[in-house]
Amino acid sequence: MAILKEYIYQLLRDDATLHTLLSKAETPYGVYFMSPPAKPEFPLITYFVGPQSGRFPRDITINITAWGNNFEAVQNRIYELLHDVVPTGISDCTPKMLKWDWAAPELFDDDYKIYYRQDRYILKVLK
């Protein structure tokens, strides 16, 4: 699912509203795969593309975590970008539907001393 990971990264990285919300003016614009860098500058976004499940169609989970005091505004913008869309330009599967699935509770990271929340999206694909 390398192409799907790149699609999600580019979508989040290239959105001008997220640039403003994250206060980032240069690449990687505060968007990271899996976990923040060793010395992160908050706010930022991390994302993870999970394994496929099901037979027909298959489900792929996409977990997106917004870190920072404005995590709710960031997640609201990501919802506008990802909910109820059909991704294009993905060649390793045929996307049929991408929808918001759930939001985790607001949490506090003791190491970073920052609030965060993870939202999950489900992508239905044909393989």
Domain count, the chain: 1
From first to last of its 127 residues, what are the pLDDT tens digits of the chain? Answer: 568 888 899 999 999 999 999 998 788 889 999 988 888 999 999 999 987 777 778 898 999 999 999 999 999 999 999 998 887 777 677 778 899 999 999 999 999 999 999 999 999 888 7
Domain extent for 98: 2-126
- The rounded distance, in Å, linking the Cα atoms of 66 and 32 is 11
Cα(17)–Cα(98) distance, integer angstroms: 21
Instruction: Tell which residue, 96, 29, 30, 32, has the closest CA to residue 59.
Output: 96
Residue 38: CATH number of its domain: 3.30.2000.30
